[in-house]
Chain A
Amino acid sequence: MMHHGFKRYIGLATLVLILALVTLGTASAQPSPIHPTFPLLDENGVNVLESGNPVSVMKTCGGCHDADLIESHSFHSQVGLNHMYPAGQAPSGRPWDTSKGLFGLWDPITYRYLSPLGDKTIDLTTADWIKVYGSHHAGGGPAVTSREGLPLKDLPVSADNPETSTVNPETGKLEAWDWKKSGAVEDNCFLCHMPDPNNEARIETLEKGEFGWASTATLLGTGIVLPKADGEGMTYNKDAFDDQGNLKKDVLPLQSPSSDNCGQCHGKVQTDVTTALTYADFSDADWTTQRTGQIFSGQRISDSALNIAGKSKLKRSWDVHAERNLKCTDCHYAINNPAYYEPPKELNPKHLTFEPRRPDIADYLQKPLHEFARGAVTKDEVGATFTESMRRCESCHDYKSTHTWLPYEDRHAQKLSCEACHIPTMHATAIQQNDWTVINKEGKGVLTYRGVGGDGNPRNPNNLMAGYNPILLPRYDTEGNAKLAPFNLVSSWYWVYGDPARPVRQMDLKKAFFDNQGDYKAEIIAAFDTNGDRRLSAAELRIDNDAKENAVRAQLEALGLANPRIQAEVQPYSISHNATWGQYSTRDCKSCHSDDSRVSQSLLLASYTPGGVTPALVGDVNMEATGDLVPGAHGELYYQPSTAKEGLYLPGHDRVKWIDWLGILMMLGVFAGVFVHGGLRIIASAHNAATHHGRTRKLYLYTFYERLWHWTQALAIIMLILTGTVIHRPDLFGAFDLGAMVPVHNALGFLLLFNAFFALFYFLAGHTVQQFLPEPKGFFHQALQQAMFYGRGIFKGEPHPFEKNEKRKMNPLQQMTYLVILNVLLPLQIITGILIWGAQRWPALSDAIGGLRYIAPFHTLIAWSFAAFVIMHMYLTTTGHTPLAAVEGMITGWEEVEVEEDDHSNEITV
């Protein structure tokens, strides 16, 4: 029974064999020229030519390499086995998860789950898990060793033990599984180290439960192993071996893993860029591509044969690193590979910039750790220790030298991952919503894709692929720093039952939805078929009302499942591949610094919410979802990120509304005051023909430096207000280049600061500072007197209450105002300005007082006050002897001032 069905291989394998023999020696990939020939051994160490048994990779490769070390230090093998948790205690938070890897961590998209030991109802036993998930498992780990750490083959065979049994798909009952007969799935070196492993044959062998033959099946097509003529099992081809029983040279080329090897499980990889990418190249086994849209290919998107929106203009490659000839292993290298390994800088003593001590190449080849360097992926799987062990963008790229055009480049780097700008758009489709509350005719949950139009089928060439903009969310690095990074959010809805909860098995869902003929049950049709055509359309096959939910629940309860209920979760997938270069990256300031900011762009989570259940973020992720779930008008659900909750303040995007309103009110008030007061003055002067014409004289009131100081300050403040307005509301002033305004604003700010320092020195050193200081004695009375003049006297043409002279250039109200402006507002504005400017170099400083979220609005508020002051000040200069006397005075130094009647010091100072 084990070799049944091998006939299907014959045609294909013979063809592949011929092709392989023809192309031998001109193989496209570069096999290692130094790998010696070797015999293929079975698990007893006997040459397979003699025994005819399956190849044991551990024995064959283990002849030279430390196969045990490789298998035990490889998360591709262990997939969580070495970090198992009791059910309910796994960090992901799901009660049925038992690890952080493929063996025990549930993926609601593939849905089948490894039942925790002790469960009465079993979805997947260990053997079933291999049949379902072995396609994405390198072998070894849980396919060889039990959860207790014993060889599976040594376990006493018992139908009661999920490690030595299988679920009968017909009855749902456990049946004994004899590992000795099936063999275990050894860590499969061939799968990753051969140029063209036969993964299809390997997977088919696994699905049939012929575990021991999986590694051997990987060799089908090389000519080493052939399907038996009668179609039952495999036999070895003596022609591929030399007289000593070793494989002939070049029959089995071995190499460092190519990107194609990695792509077999991880996602769509295309290394031959001369052939257009087509729909036929994709499959549901491309997990990463299916979940995020990432495609590792150096081909220009415009050269693909996919129906992509705006394709002809997309001259960028799918992935700039693939285009520039990087392989997966260039970043995800084995962490003791001496060619790549470098200890993290912080582990080096301060005086060392390079650590030359590393494994010898021979040591490495014997004991290559198969823990691969990796980045900060969201799903913290089994290699947590190695998170961020790989080279990050910054390890290779000099950010500074290529971002000189970007103002505040440090600040941007503190808050943004490289990917945030360099992966602006995913041009392929990705899963949006995964609904297992219902099943389709194939017995699977309903997947909805984002980034595709038409009927929503991502493989239908008639559907335009518009792609999607990944959402930017704070992602934590190992040091706990949050940077915005691109994500896809996939939300899943599914039924659970019992306590502790377990997902309803796919088998039970089928029983609940289908009758014996595999058609939807009458009860299901009755509840779901809204248009009465006895068929369930895609729009009908979703739980969007209580009747549907109750109908399914009744069916599940009828199966004996206690308290069936709908649960939902959101799984974030971080996106680090498919980066592009500058031209195609987000680089326009206003992409983020505007109302319509990329940073706060929402993402459609789901077009409907089955059972009205709101999904929650899964546990154990290295990112934060502080935003809000916002329901749409038609039952859809959006995720809306919030810069405020992410602790960000984006100039141009973020502002405190009440401050702007207050500022506008302040300005309106000043304008109203000026108009009323000025208007009354004009009316009064017309009535008061006999205005007070006191004697006047010209005084040299302002020295050259004082005037220079004043006008520098005036001009600086006005220009600061103008540039600041553009920075505050770039959306209203589209004509101005935000990127240019910011450095100009900063320069003006420093100009203002230096101007203030020089002036302070001037007035202190020249002992003229007292002109700014109000005399405490009688100050209140005098201020009142001045106010009365502005309120009444000025209309009657009365003289100014205080004579202006060299000693006393300002009235008490002026003194008070300037004291506040120059000693409170100006310093505050300069300090807050410096803090905002310094957020780039000394972020701790601004963070210490709450960060830009508080400082920036405060800066805005003071700016409004300055604007109001400037208007008021300009108006009040007209209240001198003549409307322009004061302005003239500040320009020439000479001002014509009124002389008090009883003043006898009549000397004209020239």
Chain B
Amino acid sequence: MLHKNKNWIIGILITLIIFGIPIALVAIPRAASQKIDNPRANLPQHPVPTDHSGFFADADFKTGQEVTEACLACHPDAGKEMLKNNHFTWTHKYDISEVPGVHDNVLGLGDEVLTGKKYVLNNFCITVKPNWPACTACHAGYGWADDAFNFDDPNNIDCLACHDNTGYYVKAKTGVPAKSVDLVDIAKHVGNPTRLNCGTCHFRGGGGDAVKHGDLDNSLINPTRELDVHMGGEDMVCTDCHRAEHHVMKGRSISVSLDDENQAHCTDCHSQTPHQDDRLDMHTRTVACQTCHIPTFARKEATKTYWDWSQAGKDLPITNPHEYLKIKGKFVYERDVVPTYAWYNGVVADRYLIGDKFDPSKELALNPPAGDINDPNAKIFPFKVHHATQPYDKQYDILLTPHTFGPGGYWSDFDWDKALRAGAEAFGLPYSGDYGFARTAMYWPTTHMVAPKEDALQCNACHTPDGSPGRLDWKALGYEGDPMIYGSRKINLETANANPGGQQ
């Protein structure tokens, strides 16, 4: 019987081989001719959150700290991790050798340089200190109101800002929960961070929806595919790309960071040569994905592109808060903006540090991207550039850090001298009393709101048949002319990093 069965098996096997081989021979090349690039396969699997609704039956949380204490009772590691986390410390420590650019600093730079939101200056509301309560409403902690805030107490960590899944959690000034929030109910409904959790702060940076980033705003809470192919088309959440390990999120932005360690890249999911077209694939050696796939930024909501602090304090007959506010000055908001393109290797070429002297006769770039045509790690990358005029000391040629929010601040008293003096004192900056307004620019990498592929730039956006200006100024980028005619850059790209240019 066994012998008989064996014959059957052999017979079927032989038949299978006889038929399988020729059919496979014709079928495999056909299947292989269809290139396989499946970025979805690289998406992370998020843990299914534990249902917390059965917990905290007897709890009566009065403060955020009490909630955190309850959280840490079961998640003690989370507390340790978060005490060192950027979202809590707003601080990054660099060795002086890691800081790019030449710095003639009136405060004098030690061996260590502190950056991060806590220590750098921008050209929006300028500095956190001494305006804490307004800024720290977006701090992942509770009660940061002055220099005395305890960064070592794990109970000061705000777990709910990122883990609330009800959508009803609201932070007030200094980051404490708003009075109306039912902390017990929120605590019972925690889970993985949603787009709303991240967006509550990141979509509203700069004090309102869409102000700061050109590529992050409230429209991403429920985006369409046309607006964002990842979050709209695939319903992805922030943490699909900004993957967290021990609460450390992948991702860097040159608005605050000097390095590009642990950067999130397009190539985390997509191949380096994802196009069905060799010519397009060749572009990926010099052009970042974002350059073609984010044809314009602020596609839905207008973003601030210019802020003139020098006009503040006037009683102008302008009622549109997107054009003028007495406390802040004049603004320009733009929608559907063609980005500014520059070589970019993932880090800054320079970073204005508080106390740095500068040349006020020229526009000061606070964080110019590093890279040029000869840098094998650099690619052409799209930026939102935010221009501003902001206060500086005419004697010392340093940018000043006004005290704006709170009693005695500029927003209360409209007294520049007082505000600047108070701000200078807070940072230990010299202040001559002779202030003016300097022109500054800030670079914001455009990397979200990736359009569907059919809306990506076409050849003729940059390469024009008659030499008329396209999106890229070839000469300014260092080319002889349109590389379609003059050829691409002649450098050895073999030495380039696997993920050059950052944020690819």
Q: Are B22 and A715 in contact (CB under 8 A)?
A: no
- Pick 28 A–B contacts, CB within 8 A, sort by A: A28-B468, A29-B468, A30-B468, A258-B465, A259-B466, A260-B466, A272-B468, A273-B458, A298-B458, A298-B460, A315-B455, A322-B465, A323-B460, A324-B460, A325-B464, A325-B465, A405-B30, A711-B15, A712-B15, A719-B19, A740-B27, A747-B25, A747-B26, A748-B19, A748-B22, A751-B22, A892-B4, A892-B7
Write out the residue numbers on chain A whose beta carbons fall within 8 Å of the beta carbon of B11. 707-708, 711, 891
Q: How far is the CB of A407 from chain B (nearest CB, A)?
A: 8
Across the interface, name the chain A residue whose C-beta is closest to B465: A325
List B3-57 residues whose CB lies under 8 Å from chain A: 4, 7, 11, 14-15, 18-19, 22-23, 25-27, 29-30, 33-34
CA distance A272 to B4 in the complex (A): 78
What 8 pairs between A and B have smallest CB-CB spacing?
A: A30-B467, A315-B454, A743-B26, A747-B22, A404-B33, A28-B468, A298-B460, A29-B466
Q: Are B466 and A271 in contact (CB under 8 A)?
A: yes
In the bound complex, residues from chain B placing their C-beta under 8 Å from that of A83 are none
Residues of A within 8 A of B30 (CB): 404-405, 739-740, 743
> Given the complex of chains A and B, what is the CA–CA distance between A743 and B31 in angstroms?
12
B residues near A743, Cβ cutoff 8 Å: 26-27, 30
Within 8 A of B (CB), among A724-750: 739-740, 743-744, 746-748, 750
Contacts of A317 in B (CB 8 A): 458
Are the C-beta atoms of B26 and A746 separated by less than 8 Å? Answer: yes
Q: Which residue of A is nearest B22, CB measured?
A: A747
Q: How far is the CA of A739 from the CA of B34 in the complex (A)?
A: 13
Q: Is A300 an interface residue (CB 8 A)?
A: yes
Q: What 1/0 flags go to A22-57 for Cβ under 8 Å of B? A: 000000111000000000000000000000000000
A325 x B467 contact (CB < 8 A)? no
A-chain residues with CB within 8 Å of residue B14 when the two chains form the complex = 708
The docked-state distance in angstroms from the alpha carbon of A259 to that of B23 is 50
Tell me whether A300 and B23 are in contact (CB under 8 A): no
Specify which of B15, B29, B454, B463 lies most central, judged by the most chain A CB atoms within 10 Å of its CB.
Answer: B454
Partner of B19, one of A29, A271, A405, A751: A751
List the interface of chain A (C-beta within 8 A of B): 28-30, 258-260, 271-273, 298, 300, 315, 317, 322-327, 404-405, 582, 707-708, 711-712, 715-716, 719, 739-740, 743-744, 746-748, 750-751, 891-892
A28/B26 in contact, CB under 8 A: no
Contact check, B460 vs A28: say whether CB atoms are below 8 A apart. Answer: no
Contact A405/B33 with A258-B465, A298-B460 known, Cβ cut-off 8 Å: yes
- A746–B26 alpha-carbon span in the complex (Å): 9
CB distance from A582 to the nearest CB of B (A): 8
What residue in chain A is nearest B452 (Cβ atoms)?
A315
Chain A residues contacting B455 (CB-CB under 8 Å) are 315
Contacts of B276 in A (CB 8 A): 582
Tell me the smallest distance from the CB of A34 to a CB of chain B, in Å.
15
Docked CA distance A324–B461 (Å): 10
Count how many pairs of residues, one from A and one from B, have CB atoms less than 8 Å apart in the complex: 88
Q: Which of B272-329 contact A (CB under 8 A)?
A: 276
Distance in Å: Cβ of A904 to nearest Cβ of chain B: 32
Q: What is the total number of residues of chain B having a CB less than 8 Å from a CB of chain A?
A: 30
Partner of A30, one of B15, B460, B466: B466
- Minimal beta-carbon separation of B171 from chain A (angstroms): 40
A325, B27: Cβ atoms closer than 8 Å: no
Chain B residues, Cβ within 8 Å of A750: 22
Beyond A29-B467, A298-B458, A748-B22, 16 additional contacts (C-beta under 8 Å) are: A28-B466, A30-B468, A258-B465, A271-B468, A273-B458, A315-B454, A323-B460, A325-B460, A326-B465, A404-B29, A708-B11, A712-B19, A715-B19, A744-B23, A747-B23, A751-B22
Interface string of B441-463 (1 = CB under 8 A from A): 00000000000001100111101
Contacts of A30 in B (CB 8 A): 466-468
Q: Does B484 contact A (CB under 8 A)?
A: yes
Give the residues in chain A near B27, CB-CB below 8 Å. 740, 743-744
A193 to B202, CA, bound (A): 54
Bound together, the chains give a CA A708 to CA B34 distance in angstroms of: 36
- Min Cβ gap A753→B in Å is 11
Contact across chains for B465 and A273 when beta carbons are under 8 A apart: no
Contacts of A711 in B (CB 8 A): 11, 15
Give bound CA distance, A259 to B26, whole Å.
45
Give the distance in Å from the alpha carbon of A747 to the alpha carbon of B458 in the complex. 42
Complex contacts, A315 vs chain B, CB 8 Å? 454-455
Bound Cα distance A325, B468 (Å): 12
Nearest-neighbor residue (CB-CB) of A708 within chain B: B14
| Minimal beta-carbon separation of A112 from chain B (angstroms) | 35
The residue of chain A having its C-beta at the shortest distance from the C-beta of B226 within the complex is A312
Q: Which residues of A contact B33 (CB under 8 A)?
A: 404-405
Chain B's closest residue to A324 (CB) is B459
B438 to chain A, nearest CB (A): 31
Point out the residue from B23, B29, B460, B467 that lies within 8 Å of A273, measured CB to CB.
B460
Query: B15: which of A29, A259, A715 is its contact (CB, 8 Å)?
Result: A715
Residues of chain B lying within 8 A (CB to CB) of residue A326: 465
- Give the distance in Å from the alpha carbon of A708 to the alpha carbon of B14 in the complex: 9
- C-alpha spacing A300/B7, complex, angstroms: 64
Q: How far is the CA of A204 from the CA of B7 in the complex (A)?
A: 94
Q: Are A258 and B460 within 8 A (Cβ)?
A: no
Complex alpha-carbon distance, A300 and B26, angstroms: 38
Closest to A712 in B: B18
B26: contacting residue among A582, A716, A744, CB under 8 A: A744
Task: Output the nearest chain A residue to B29 by Cβ-Cβ distance.
Answer: A404
CB-defined interface of B461-477 with A at 8 Å, one 1/0 digit per residue? Answer: 10111111000000000
In the complex the two chains form, what is the Cα distance from A715 to B458 in whole Å? 52
- Establish whether residues B15 and A748, one from each chain, have CB atoms under 8 Å apart when the complex forms: no
Instruction: Name the CB-closest residue of A to B26.
Output: A743
A762 to chain B, nearest CB (A): 15
State the Cβ distance, B287 to closest chain A Cβ, in Å: 16
Inter-chain contact B26/A325, CB cutoff 8 Å: no
Residues on A with beta carbons closer than 8 Å to the beta carbon of B468 = 28-30, 271-272
Which residues of the other chain, A, contact B34 by a CB distance below 8 angstroms? 405
Contacts of A405 in B (CB 8 A): 30, 33-34
Using Cβ atoms and an 8 Å threshold, which residues of chain A touch B458? 273, 298, 300, 317, 323
